[in-house]
Structure 1
């Protein structure tokens, strides 16, 4: 698949915190329609140097994925695992003496010729949205939070409404932390059904404090420009207690690689049959002359 994107919309707001623990890749102002890799991380609030962890992971993960995509057209699961390992190495290096208590969530998005890859660790979230299906059916994919309240909800111990107000709503079950004996793996999904007009939305949990999926779809399905949609998302989270960061990316066009090659001009085939035709004609003439000679011989 060959993807064309509209200008990606970055959000990286301080919110109600005194410091910014979220990190995004590319940095705000550096994204362009040519970008194919996006990362959003949320440093673990309450832990020392959460901002160091999120920055180390987002930068290392994004830069290595970009480097791989510059060399090969298809980004594989193994490529992602190598990038994730590199990000863990960067996280270890950010705390060389194993003195800091820090960690981060991670969301990852990559457009490549083989499709669209998404991956996450923690409770930062990824959406694949199709506004053409309307607000009720337009959420095609939503990542499952690696959080305690999500687990309790799935086990039937709390209701969906109680998830929002639970005192344990900030407890996450998976995160990226330095110097782990066994590094936490990511949930990895490859999405093949991508159409022009689709949106991908990567966001930290701060963006979701006061926003349901219905509210997100209401904004995405509106006739506003992407810049206006970005501002509406910021306005909706303006009073949130947490940092709030996101990338909102709309797909402009999708071209199948095979279709693209079918449309390329085809060079004319060499005239292989020209010599064969000459030889065939020559043989026919010789056969005809032989027949005439035989006829003359009989006549004489």
Structure 2
């Protein structure tokens, strides 16, 4: 019986047809639009303008764009840090412990992937706004403002990107099992020593993989952030919100430049993920 590699190596009309279909599909959906974005990013804004890399760098020096990317990086950093801590804890809880409601928690973890980010932002407003929110007035009495401020934007970003960390760690935890951890406990290691010396080294690449994907998702978040953010220039405007404002205000060159930076960040994330994958996962 031929193995899988032999079957894959066989070529025929169906194989070439599928390859052609995939190439055409990717070209129409990804390659062509992105190439148009790249072309317009370095194109001159007005007739007679030089364009090129110099014009692109000049657009990035706009104070509004500098502020937007600074806020985007801030929100993404804290969202990824939150997802790392809670994602690791939730993963260990789901894999290593049995408790009532375990399956429900597993379903809730995937909720951000199936619900529109706009709905996520609206839910945060309903829960934390000062007018109708359940906790908004109490928190504002303590001097903590969520909606319309950076903490709310961080919460929205963390919410939509949380599953990316958890769903990378859980399969690895299930794969490595508990034999090494049980052996460590039998030799006198406490829970922290077992986690630091046994569990963490075994899942470190899954953590790195999830963190990179979560970072890429956080940098490009739009819907949830738009709902909870003031969305004004120099006041709660992230890179994605700036792209929308610039494009709708017919400042396309700045919008293209900001979008190109986000595309570069996404490509870099994919490259990093490719290199940190285990060799058996690359095939």
| Structure number having the greater helix percentage | 2
Pick the structure with greater CA Rg. 1
Pairwise same-fold verdict (TM > 0.5) = no
Tell me the TM-score normalised to structure 1 length.
0.24
Tell me the TM-score normalised to structure 2 length.
0.25
| Structure number having the greater strand percentage | 1
